[in-house]
Amino acid sequence: MATAPRFWRENPSRYNLVGIKCNSCGRHFFPPRSICPVCHRKSVGKIERVKLKGEGKIFSWTEVQEGPEELSSNRPYIYAMVEMEDGLRFTGQVIDCEPADLQIGTPVRAVLRKLSEEGPSGVIHYGYKFVLRKEKSP
Ligand SMILES: [Zn+2]
């Protein structure tokens, strides 16, 4: 019987990169939640789900030599903190690039990628990773 992976069904926000906007303070948050962590009770009824563009800039990064077991197939890898539009900060793996390609302010975009696969049962976890946004040379 083919069913959607559990992770997808339970976390559509991860798949769609959906966050929230609090219409009380105007801030964005990810992942979605029902109460604004800044406004608390004032935000009740003022939370709106928004699809994030997923574009941001490298804020800091590190090259990780020893990753968790499930990432062993692609180690070493680059793990970065990314400042997104709307003031959000994401952390995640940056793929398809070398450390030398990165600078503070390098534009990146979040993409959905397979994160890991659990044994023969084939439960696949998806999440976002980052790729460089190609900018035209001056
Ligand atoms: Zn708020």
Residues 22-41: tens digit of each pLDDT: 999 999 988 889 999 999 99
CA of 83 to the centre of ligand 1 (A): 19
Q: Which of 47-51, 52-56, 112-116 has the lowest mean pLDDT?
A: 112-116
Query: Which residues contact residue 94 at a Cβ distance below 8 angstroms, ignoring those fewer than 6 apart?
Result: 58, 61, 77, 78, 79, 80, 102, 108, 129, 130, 131, 132
Q: What is the pTM of this model?
A: 0.70
CA of 41 to the centre of ligand 1 (A): 9
Q: What is the CATH number of domain 53-132?
A: 2.40.50
Dihedral pair phi/psi, residue 101, rounded to 5°: -80, -15
- Secondary structure (3-state) at 85: helix
The residue ranges of every structural domain in the chain are 12-52, 53-132
CA of 24 to the centre of ligand 1 (A): 5
